[in-house]
Amino acid sequence: MTRTKKVIGGIVLFLLLLIVAIVIFIATFDWNRLKPTINEKVSTELQRPFAINGDLGVQWSRHREERGWRSWVPWPHIHAEDISLGNPQDVPGDYTARLKRIEASIAPLALLHREVYLPRITLVSPDASLKRLANGKNNWTFNLANSDDKDSQKPVSPWSFQVDDIVFDRGKIDYQDAIAKADIHLTVNPLGKPVAFAELTGSGDDKQAAAKTADNYIFGWKAEGTYNNEPLSGSGKIGGMLALRNAGAPFPLQADVRSGRTRVAFTGTLEDPLNFGGLDLRLRLAGENLGDLQGLTGVVLPDSPPYNTDGHLVASFKGKNAGRYRYEKFNGKIGQSDIHGTLEYRQGKPRPSLTGELVSNRLRFADLGPLIGADSGTASGKQAAKTKSIQPSDKVLPYDKFDTASWSKMDADVKFTGKDIEHGDALPLSDLYTHLKLDNGELLLDPLRFGMARGTLNSTIRLEGQRTPMRGRADLHARGLQLKALFPNVEAMRSSMGQLNGDAQFNGTGNSVAALLGSSNGNLRLLMNDGIISRNLMEIAGLNVGNYVVGKLFGDDQVKINCAAADVNVNNGLAQPRLFLFDTENAVIHVDGTTNFGTERLDLSINPDSKGARIVTLRSPLYVRGTFKNPSAGVKPGPLIARGAAAVVLGAVVTPAAALLALISPSGGDDNQCGPILREMNIKK
């Protein structure tokens, strides 16, 4: 054998021995000796305690799924037991996460082209404890060492990392959040047998989504605890971890959660799951009060009677539509009213916004009560208790306060149409349309329009919720209200061609309807022609005091009203008529006095001036006094004022007659009996 061959043979033998020695070393090495180094380096990098408390080992074996010569290359199978990850120093608690055991295999040949490839990671009894404190600090945000060094320019690593699947037997997550007032305990278990996505969806669009979904449901979960200090429970299903790496196929989700009085159920998918691209869900919501949804969704909604909706939610978290939530073509009920439409919520600066259009084909007017702090009759639970506890027993005007603090959290631009209004006979409304705008705490309803008694009640309401106290303004215009439609149960009124027209402007301050009216300034003008008044009409209207007054004036007779005119000035909640009269076939009835909206008290005088030989039954003036809730009426001592004196009094207060002439509907023509009397008054002034 030549010297060269001996040298080469020696080198080969040395290399073989070296390889054998390395293999023996690796196979027999006690990997637990590396634990202190690993624990220290990971703790330093994560800036929180990390420890492998149990055994750390590596086993070598061939990978069964490899083919050809690759099947002979042994793979390292790593395992570690009793792993714990602690909390940052400023977050109390024993741990963020714990694992009883973790197992993973590394593809050795992938390391040659700088790829760390783990086909599967197996977690045994994963346990996470997530916490957020009242100051906003939490234990799931990781601040890596040197991550705050803005001047450091670390080169991009040429290494890549890939995991195909993560499996576990039973997982547990505890979530405590001082801001959301949450204490939730979640358990996740393998289903054993995968459940097809299509089995939990409906038809049509849901089936198309099922065909595109990457995976079946693999895991089931259950949750219990509290959220926003309300009991919470729920269950659902999710796909397998293998589906997470497929950005092109949606990840399946299903849940049914109850929080307090609210239920949220959905079935759908998560787009681009690793990057949380968006959601595509069939979403059902139900509860006792829409206002409760603010704690769950962040969307500011008004108080309401019990509700339920079913629609299609599409949410985007990336790209130009990031922060966009669109609840499309939903159907549902609020109280006893149906509701349909599409709403879109967008996160943004300076505030998030809500836009959309809503339609109710059959609107129960009482269901709008909570919007103005009135009891709808369908509220339950806390909503009903809230209304009853705030409203004083001796008051009539709504005292429930507007939640103006929440108005500045969101802007809104929503149109609402009520096509057919369900109401009592005393409120002849036919339809409703309003355009609601909320901008930096200022609420505008323009228009707020009702179809009423074959006419229209058109108004503009502005509430400046950013002010303390709130400042409000209302402009109302009633046109063409038909008397026979206003009083459909009065036989004599059915042949009337009379109308009611009016204008009102008020402004005030306060955070309830009662406070706004109690501090209001403005005026009210009303004009009615060709009407009827009787005790029977007062009984139908439920006005006991009116029944008494009409009986004293006209007895049991039915009396025709040629014209009724009112021009009322309101100053700091005190309403005082400049002109308030009824021109009947028997007499001219003049009303004077005050109405105090702040104290809800009446102090009115009613003075009839009989016409010619037809004398009314009353020989003395009447009074109406007391509170709105318990008014009383009686006869004033002393005789009626003389006819000539009455004319002098009327002459002194008829200045508003010219303004009231503008309320005569052009359609009334010469038949409107208010025209002559107002023109005569206008001349007398």
pLDDT (mean) for 487-506? 76
pLDDT at 554: 72
pLDDT at 19: 61
pLDDT in tens, 65-78: 777 788 888 888 99
Q: What is the mean pLDDT of the chain?
A: 80
Cα–Cα separations (whole angstroms), residue 71 to 62, 68, 75, 305 = 6, 6, 10, 68
Write the DSSP assignment of 19-45 as a string of letters: HHHHHHHHHH--GGGGHHHHHHHHHHH
Distance CA 588, CA 674 (A): 13
Quick check: 345 and 325 in contact, CB under 8 A? yes
pLDDT in tens, 282-338: 999 999 988 888 777 777 777 888 999 999 999 988 878 888 999 999 999 998 899
pLDDT at 684: 46
Least confident among 23-32, 332-341, 546-555, 674-683:
674-683
pLDDT (mean) for 34-56? 91
Quick check: 323 and 316 in contact, CB under 8 A? yes
Distance CA 330, CA 339 (A): 8
Instruction: Say what the pTM is.
Output: 0.73
pLDDT at 124: 92
Distance CA 606, CA 580 (A): 10
pLDDT at 608: 81
CA-based end-to-end distance of the chain: 143
Higher pLDDT, 661 or 640: 661
pLDDT at 100: 94
Distance CA 139, CA 248 (A): 31
List of E strands, 56-149 = 56-62, 74-85, 97-105, 115-124, 127-132
Q: Which residues contact 59 (CB under 8 A, 6 or more apart)?
A: 76, 77, 79
pLDDT at 672: 66
Quick check: 233 and 258 in contact, CB under 8 A? yes
Q: Using the predicted structure, report yes or no on whether residue 532 has a pLDDT greater than 70.
A: yes
pLDDT in tens, 160-210: 878 777 888 889 999 999 988 889 999 998 886 555 555 555 444 544 444
Quick check: 628 and 600 in contact, CB under 8 A? yes
Q: Using the predicted structure, report yes or no on whether residue 388 has a pLDDT greater than 80.
A: no
Least confident among 310-319, 418-427, 629-638:
418-427
Q: How confident is the model at residue 273 (pLDDT cuts 50, 70, 90)?
A: confident
pLDDT at 649: 44
pLDDT in tens, 217-243: 888 999 999 988 889 999 999 887 665
